Structure 1
Amino acid sequence: MNDMASGAALAHPRERTPDTEQPDVERIVARARAAQRRFENAGQQTLDTAVAAAAWAIMEPRRNRQLADLAVRDTGLGNADDKFRKNHRKTLGLLRDLHGVATTGVIARDESHGIVEIARAVGVVAAITPSTNPAATPANKIINALKCGNAVVVAPSPKGYSSCALLIDFIHAEFAKAGLDADLVQMLPQPIGKAATAALMRLADLVVATGSQANVRMAYTSGTPAFGVGAGNVASIITERANADDAARKIAVSKTFDNATSCSSENSVVIVDAIYARMLDALTNEGGVLLDAAQKARLQAAMWRDGKLSACCTARSAAAIAREAGLDDIAAREPRFLMVEESGYGSAYPFSGEKLAPVLTVYRARDIGAAVDTVCGIYAYMGAGHSVGVHGADDALAVTLGTQLPVARVIVDQAHCLATGGNFDNGLPFSLSMGCGTWGGNNFSANLGYRQYLNVTRVAYPIEERVPEVDDLLGDYFRRCGR
């Protein structure tokens, strides 16, 4: 029995053909697989020790500050203080979600159905990560993967390489203290290119991709099981029942956090006519500046060049973006965010799409029905499946939005970018990767969490036979429709 168990541990059902064109990637994955085989059966305490080590690697304040500063310096994206807060808060929340959760061995018994569930690792995880969160997103994926007994190889964005490399150095230092194998967490060597990333996807057992839709599509076509995320383009509806000042405060916090690097930051607000003027005043009081038609045109020319969103405005401050657009008078007012009014959506109306910048598009709707129609139009262009915000909704309206709109999440009366990925004042799990369901081209509609990094084997025992009568199941149909 012991010999059989030992032999089984050496076999792997997803061994891949060697990739002679990418020998470095092949060696990295081979080391990861060897480390993972030893790790997955080491017991829950060892898995949890690895989780704690990886978490403290990013949460320790001195290291967190280094990672936040380096991320902004090398990517040019976001705000270092906000990244510092994000690195800490997202990791702390993930630790809360994982605390006490069983992820190895028997994790559930259902005596009435004769089922025992056994948690199993997936193997080597390829973690594709973006430049917008070059430390927080890799850390989130690494911690989830380790919790389930996996090894991880990260493919960072080229701009985020230095931050990811420093993070992994910090993780390895913590692993050394805990007696853990450094090969459990690795990253691709420079230069990061499509060929190396594609090779990693082919050789891994699971791909978890966050970032550009090109990376997500590559993950889905890699031949390896994959989880990818959809495009963000969040809209929030403001009803006449909303507290304008409270809604404006939360929208401003969400729109400006980390210079709007989050896919969960509002890109548009759709305001019901009855509260429109009051809401604009409240947004202005929170530091928003509404542009006139000529200023809007100059901003559009700066933000979109040759029909594509320009990197020159991505995740920069509102004042810097205004200067880029030649709006020095606006920049001098030191706005927190810029606002433009819009009436249409689609490629002819670029402000209706995702902007990854503290620029908020404002729509005016006759009533709540028209507001819902506007959001549907926006999401038909971009952002379907992600989520919608609403301020001033009763339970019936919130459920109606969740029934009618193509979204996986409805965020009620909250700062959207802080709430969508889990927060301490809502029940969503902490994550930096949001599944968008089939609406967004994804195979899941939840916040990416540890369950996506886990296989479950089910043992089925015989139980007392329970065979229903046909009339017990079809009697109502027969009474209404006949036999």
Structure 2
Amino acid sequence: MSQLDAVFARLEAAGEIIEGYSQEQIDRVARSVVDAGVRENRRLSELAVSETGYGRVADKMVKNELSTTILWDSIKDEKTVGIIREDAGRNIWEVAAPVGIVAAVIPCTNPTSTTLYKAIIALKGRNPILFSPHPSAKDCIGETVKVIREALKQVGAPEDTVQILENPTIELTNEMMRHPKTGVILATGGLGLVKAAYSSGKPAYGVGPGNVPVFVERSADVEKAAKDVVAGKSFDNGTVCASEQSVIVDAPIADRMLDALKRNSCYVVNDEEKKKLEKVVVSPKFTANPKIVGKDPAVIAGIAGFSVPEETRVLLVPMDGVGKEHPLSIEKLSPILCFYVEDDWQAACERCIQLLNFGGLGHSLGIHSRNLDVIREFALKKPAFRILVNTPTTHGAVGYTTRLMPSMTLGCGTFGNNITSENITAKHMVNVKRVAFEMNPVNPGSESPLQVGGTGGIAEIIDRKLQGRVIAETPHDVVDFVSERDVLDAVREGRKILISSRTMVTPLAKDTARDHDIFRKVD
């Protein structure tokens, strides 16, 4: 047995244990990771910055907060065990099943936050998870995994539910993704990695690059727009894939917007400085040079050969085109922001599309406007799946300032060669079985919903029982049918439900009643 096979064997054994957990048990396990991430937030954030040299500790802490408490608040009430939904109208039960072992690839730009986030959503669905860390962040990711494993130990869950490749290589990561026991891949990283994930023969959730444009339309609150753009672009020194890469400004407000950006610590580079930036920011493959990713503006300027004030938050680059002749129009993953001026929203619309086509298809787009008609047109015409309105795109896309699902993995849909356009979350870590009762019988037969050929199907049977049922107004009434709603009503009203051996109780009603001592059985 190879070393990787041994790892998968331990994951599989742990997975068999947690698959038998109740909803309450698995929620306790996932919540333990949330709490551990909160306790260790600062230490893990400091480790991430120290090891990678990317970003800022305070901003890493916000990412960890998003990936723990904010994420948990959004998924804590989701049912991921047993029968999770009953559709009485269509007579269908939906039953949750784990997706299996999750092969999770972690980037160096958001190492600790992505590890916490992926562990929590995998565990919520009762799935074991194996991490392949980026080599330049393997220590801080490894420490995060230790924190998670200790949390599992403290609540009595098998530690081997969460594991890490100690010495990751491209070859080993590819082998992990292709392994026969891999259930699904969560791939966060560069284009090559995502392509490898989709070529592995396994189901995969990948992401696309985020060359995010933001349009500031003439009706916008200019001061707020400027503050939002700078807040998003400078956050963790631009390492979030949803960070603003270019700002396109409506001509009538261009001067006001530029002044507002300057007041918010943007440094406008001149033509000579722009040429120097182009040489150090963009690699020969037209990707961001790792040496400038996540660095402070003053550091980037120094590498390029010029100086800026230490308090500079963003390097602002005037631009008039998009494409290889304009190298800085790529996704830069750093506090460098392109600045365009267009005559009206139609021209701005086309500029945004050009930028999205140059490495950001399907990802995100921002707009600052009070004109709902313009916002609607942008939503209809742009090849982006997150349209963020009057908010920093960095914070809005990941669900920090919006009600989108909190996530560190943002799908780009078919526009970006991804399988989904959603923010990946706990629901993507659950398979759903569907139990469908006959509605339109082919053959006459028994009324029993468990036998094929019922005369009216389960819906008609339930309808007849509902029509003839006794309403449990007092503890002395025996009912013949109980739904989840009946149980919730009884809990709210503080009363009991009397049932007999002939009472039909739906599975969700049984699950809901389990912790409330609602039923009293009468023979």
* 1:123-142 equivalences in 2 (<5 Å): 123-142=100-119
Q: Equivalent residue for 1:78?
A: 55
Secondary structure at 1:408's aligned position in 2? strand
Q: Which amino acid aligns with 2:237?
A: N
Q: Is 1:37–2:38 an aligned residue pair?
A: no
Cα displacement string for residues 32-87 of structure 1 (whole angstroms, at most 9, x for unaligned residues): 01110111121111210111111122111xx2111111111111111112101221
**Bigger Cα displacement from structure 2, 81-90 vs 305-314:** 305-314
Larger RCO (CA under 8 A, 6+ residues apart): 1
Secondary structure at 1:241's aligned position in 2? coil
Q: Equivalent residue for 2:134?
A: 157
8 Å CA contact retained: 1:57, 1:167: no
Q: Is 1:319–2:295 an aligned residue pair?
A: no
Q: Equivalent residue for 2:32?
A: 53
- Structure with larger Rg: 2
Secondary structure at 2:171's aligned position in 1? helix
Mark the CA change 1:26 to 1:270 in structure 2 (over 3 Å): closer, same or farther.
same
Identity %: 32
Q: Equivalent residue for 2:87?
A: 110
Deviation at 1:305, TM superposition (A): 4.2
Cα displacement string for residues 353-395 of structure 1 (whole angstroms, at most 9, x for unaligned residues): 1000100000111100000000111111110100110001432
Choose the corresponding residue for 1:438, options 396, 406, 414.
Answer: 414
8 Å CA contact retained: 1:393, 1:412: no
Deviation at 1:202, TM superposition (A): 1.4
Q: Equivalent residue for 1:227?
A: 205
Q: Which amino acid aligns with 1:232?
A: G
8 Å CA contact retained: 2:322, 2:358: yes
Mark the CA change 1:111 to 1:310 in structure 2 (over 3 Å): closer, same or farther.
same
Deviation at 1:397, TM superposition (A): 2.0
Deviation at 1:333, TM superposition (A): 5.1
Note the residue ranges of structure 1 that are not aligned, 5 or more in a row. 1-19, 467-483
Choose the corresponding residue for 1:461, options 413, 432, 437.
Answer: 437
Counterpart CA distance in 1 for 2:184 and 2:277 is 41
Q: Equivalent residue for 1:285?
A: 263
Deviation at 1:89, TM superposition (A): 3.1
Aligned length: 439
Q: Equivalent residue for 1:143?
A: 120
Secondary structure at 1:399's aligned position in 2? helix
8 Å CA contact retained: 1:117, 1:458: yes
Counterpart CA distance in 2 for 1:403 and 1:40 is 42
Q: Is 1:343–2:311 an aligned residue pair?
A: no
Counterpart CA distance in 2 for 1:105 and 1:397 is 45
8 Å CA contact retained: 1:421, 1:428: yes
Counterpart CA distance in 1 for 2:85 and 2:291 is 51
Q: Equivalent residue for 1:479?
A: none
* 1:253-332 equivalences in 2 (<5 Å): 253-308=231-286, 309-328=288-307, 330=308, 332=309
Cα displacement string for residues 97-126 of structure 1 (whole angstroms, at most 9, x for unaligned residues): 112211010001112211000010011000
Secondary structure at 1:386's aligned position in 2? strand
Q: Equivalent residue for 2:345?
A: 368
Q: Which amino acid aligns with 2:41?
A: N
Q: Equivalent residue for 1:410?
A: 387
8 Å CA contact retained: 2:103, 2:132: yes
Counterpart CA distance in 1 for 2:12 and 2:300 is 46
Deviation at 1:426, TM superposition (A): 2.1
Q: Which amino acid aligns with 1:397?
A: V
Secondary structure at 2:135's aligned position in 1? coil
8 Å CA contact retained: 1:127, 1:209: yes
* 1:179-194 equivalences in 2 (<5 Å): 179-190=156-167, 192-194=168-170
Counterpart CA distance in 2 for 1:465 and 1:406 is 45
Counterpart CA distance in 2 for 1:386 and 1:336 is 24
Q: Which amino acid aligns with 1:440?
A: G
Counterpart CA distance in 2 for 1:412 and 1:157 is 33
Q: Equivalent residue for 1:251?
A: 229
Q: Which amino acid aligns with 1:372?
A: C
* 1:90-101 equivalences in 2 (<5 Å): 90-101=67-78
